[in-house]
């Protein structure tokens, strides 16, 4: 039995008033339950009212996978919203005033390093271990340079203005364009520029 | 401590835990207490001297003098790969940097910097002498304009590794000289600059 047949039969069954009742008894629909449904329909005393198309289907029925295909967008959306509402209702939350974290003005630092500008820990004196002496110079100057660099960066930030940047970028765009153009286009580009640089000739109206 | 506090009770003052030291200040907003404690609490970024105590799979256990042993991956050495393991034996000294250190986790060491270079970190100390001093003395030794380091420099050629965990390793040409340096450093703990200089002069003259 295909799922289309299934839905058709179900639709038919459900149009009856007792259909919902049946569905409560068969929450999981199997082929055997369908068969039973049909039997119920056959021998039920109330006649089948095929003409009544306006009968509403229950929500639980509409939510089933095989019923989804026939639904129009409106009911689909409605169903989804309802489902969402149910899910959000099930979530727990505490009715408390919102927590406001205050800014902490004390920063804890567990190491002495940043306070005392400590030097590199390996030392050699009077050329006992030349490698370490080289390292000492390198590491200790590296630290100083780092500090200087930081200063430089902060100075540089103020050095280049946005206008400078824009001007630079403009020229860059032109040269990149030239680079990626083909040979013929390149010459054309050059010519264009040359033309543009020449003063434009225009007809001047002679004065009387 | 600031004088205003000591003034209130001229004869005897009770100092609670954590208040035994000199309150220091550095512009603009740095405050810390400079003390002579001996207990090391690992903190991130510090260079320490550790003793390898165990090899287990792909990590070494290293004693760094903290409450817990630190772990050191075999891949955290310069030039180490899965196939090319570093030659580290139990009992070796490693000069290494703490990259994980907090109260909830096991401290973790590395012997390379962020670029993968050793820069003096790693196994060292084929011979020489390792001893412990107070953390305050270590910081005095590593201070940028350290008087002790300058005084020591004048004596004879020797090499020294200073770990922030209070461990100092020295090596000179002879065992005798190594011992002299070690003893001088230990005696620096509680001496004024003048006392230290006279002692150093006497040692340099060979009178001790």
What's the rounded Cα separation, in Å, for the pair B31 and B29? 7
Chain B CB within 8 Å of residue A39 CB: no
Task: Out of B144, B162, B173, name the one closest to residue A121 (CB).
Answer: B162
- Torsion angle of alpha carbons A87, A88, A94, A98, nearest 10°? 150
B107: number of Cβ within 10 Å: 25
Measure CB to CB from residue B95 to each of A115, A121, A128 and give the nearest one: A121
Confidence (pLDDT) at A7: 64
Mean pLDDT of B112-138: 89
**Would you call A134 an interface residue with chain B, using a CB distance cutoff of 8 Å?**
no
Over residues B82-119, the pLDDT tens digits come to 899 999 999 999 999 999 998 899 999 999 988 888 88
Summary mean pLDDT of chain A: 73
Place A42 in a pLDDT band, splitting at 50, 70 and 90.
low
Please give the pLDDT value at position B165: 92
Chain B residues touching A115 at Cβ < 8 A? 24, 26, 30, 32
- Which of B31, B156, B159 should one mutate to test binding to chain A, selecting the residue with the greatest count of A CBs within 10 A? B159
Compute the average pLDDT of residues A174-192.
70
Measured between CB atoms, does A105 come within 8 Å of chain B? no
B200 Cβ neighbours under 8 A, 6+ residues apart = B151, B152, B154, B155, B184
Task: Write out chain A residues lying below 8 Å of B130, CB-based.
Answer: none
Interval A44-76: pLDDT, tens: 544 444 445 556 778 778 777 777 777 778 888
CATH class of B129-205: alpha beta
Cα of A150 to nearest chain B Cα, Å: 17
pLDDT at A205: 81
Look at residue B130 in the predicted model and tell me its pLDDT.
Answer: 94
pLDDT at residue A40 in the model: 60
Nearest to B119 among A128, A129, A139 (CB): A139
**Predicted confidence (pLDDT) at residue A189 exceeds the cutoff of 80:** no
CB < 8 Å to A111, chain B: 43-46, 164
> Could you report the predicted ipTM of this complex, rounded to two decimals?
0.79
CATH of B47-124, one of 2.40.50.140, 2.30.40.10, 1.10.1040.10, 3.40.50.10420: 2.40.50.140
Q: Is the CB of A126 less than 8 angstroms away from the CB of B24? A: no
Q: What integer is the mean pLDDT of B70-93? A: 91
Sign of the Cα torsion A152, A153, A154, A159 reads: positive
Is pLDDT at A99 greater than 90 in this prediction?
Answer: no
Q: Of residues A193 and A188, which shows the higher confidence score?
A: A188
Q: What percent of chain A has pLDDT over 90?
A: 1
Question: pLDDT digits over A1-34, tens only?
Answer: 455 666 666 666 666 555 555 555 555 666 666 6
Structure tokens at A165: 């940047």
């Amino acid at each position: 039995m295909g799922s289309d047949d299934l839905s058709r039969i179900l639709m038919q069954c459900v149009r009856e008033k007792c259909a919902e009742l049946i569905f409560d008894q068969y929450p999981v629909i199997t082929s055997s339950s369908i068969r039973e449904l049909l039997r119920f329909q056959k021998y039920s005393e109330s006649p089948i009212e095929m003409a009544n198309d306006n009968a509403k289907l229950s929500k639980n029925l509409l939510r089933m996978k095989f019923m989804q295909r026939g639904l129009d967008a409106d009911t689909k959306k409605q169903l989804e919203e309802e489902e969402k509402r149910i899910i959000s209702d099930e979530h727990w939350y505490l009715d408390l005033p919102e927590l406001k974290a205050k800014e902490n003005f004390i920063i804890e630092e567990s190491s002495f390093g940043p306070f005392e500008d400590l030097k590199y820990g390996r030392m050699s004196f009077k050329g006992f271990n030349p490698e370490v002496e080289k390292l000492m110079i390198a590491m200790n100057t590296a630290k100083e340079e780092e500090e200087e660099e930081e200063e430089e960066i902060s100075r540089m930030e103020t050095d280049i203005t946005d206008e400078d940047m824009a001007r630079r970028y403009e020229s860059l765009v032109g040269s990149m364009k030239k680079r990626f153009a083909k040979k013929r286009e390149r010459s054309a580009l050059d010519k264009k520029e040359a033309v543009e640089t020449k003063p434009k000739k225009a007809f001047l109206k002679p004065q009387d | 401590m600031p004088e205003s506090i000591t003034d209130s009770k001229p004869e005897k003052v009770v100092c609670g835990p954590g208040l035994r030291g000199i309150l220091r200040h550095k512009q603009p907003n740095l405050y810390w207490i400079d003390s002579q404690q001996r207990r090391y609490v690992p903190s991130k970024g510090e260079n320490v001297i550790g003793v390898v105590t165990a090899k287990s799979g792909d990590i070494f256990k290293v004693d760094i003098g903290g409450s817990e042993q630190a772990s050191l991956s075999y891949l955290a050495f310069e030039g180490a790969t899965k196939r090319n393991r570093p030659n580290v034996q139990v009992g070796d000294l490693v000069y290494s940097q703490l990259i994980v250190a907090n109260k909830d986790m096991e401290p973790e060491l590395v012997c390379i910097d962020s670029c993968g270079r050793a820069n003096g970190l790693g196994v060292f100390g084929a011979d020489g002498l390792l001893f412990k001093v107070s953390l305050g003395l270590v910081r005095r030794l590593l201070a940028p304009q350290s008087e002790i380091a300058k005084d020591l420099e004048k004596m004879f050629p020797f090499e020294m590794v200073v770990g922030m965990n209070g461990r100092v390793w020295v090596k000179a040409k002879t065992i005798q000289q190594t011992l002299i340096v070690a003893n001088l450093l230990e005696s620096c703990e509680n001496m004024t600059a003048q006392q230290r200089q006279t002692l150093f002069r006497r040692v340099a003259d060979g009178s001790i």
